[in-house]
Structure 1
Amino acid sequence: YHRFMSGLQGGKMSSSIPDSHIALTDDPKEGAKKVKKAKTGGCMTLEEQKKLGGNPDECSVFELMLFHLIEDDEELLEIRQECVCGTRMCGSCKQLAAEKMQEFLKDHQEKRELAREQLDEYRIIYNK
């Protein structure tokens, strides 16, 4: 777990609370589903969100994008500003993060399987 991140539901991550974290072994669709259920820094109503803006510092979805899903600092700054100004709603952030998480997990698991196959080949060659 990332030591600076809060869990998806706020608070601490816990292996006994599956919806508090996304594991690298989670099915990509399940990972996306967890992102869509995550706690945000948004207001109680859409009207309040548009008027007051959100709080990305209290948003587990923004944290995921910041630490793991988006490398481009300008894109992150734009998302943050739109959130604070009330022009970006939590649903659009969740959708973006869910798509990126699904892609990340799929890619990671494909690479892990390739590494496993290469390790098996290595064992066959060098264990004779």
Structure 2
Amino acid sequence: MIANKFGAFVAAKRKDKEISLRKMAELLDFSPAYWSDIEKGRRNPPNLSKIKEIAKLLGLSQEEKEIMIDLASEDRDEIPMDLPDYIKDSDLARIALRKARKKDEIEGTSETTDKAWKEFIKALDEEE
């Protein structure tokens, strides 16, 4: 049995939009039983392209879509599914992640790297 954070999140959003389980399944080209299993955590969340489709159907914000991706990835026990290609394609991202991991291992804590990541995120936000 999986954690089902994704299923609970999607079910709540679907109900907020007053979309029936059957209608949601139909819109996603899933059987109602299959979609019910996903919402109840009896099946793994779908792949990234289907998750993007779900986000669009539910009218989710970018932040809500990212939360949904994180929940799906967590339930699947995977790295967030929108990141592996970026990490594979970016030498700098891989270098930064490895340096952060090494520093955490040496110091036995993530306090220093957490501070650095927060500063990095702030700098990226200021660029927007």
Higher relative contact order (CA 8 A, sep 6+): 1
State the TM-score bracket (shorter-chain normalisation). under 0.3
TM-score by length of 2: 0.26
Tell me the TM-score normalized by structure 1: 0.26
Please identify which structure carries the higher helix content: 2
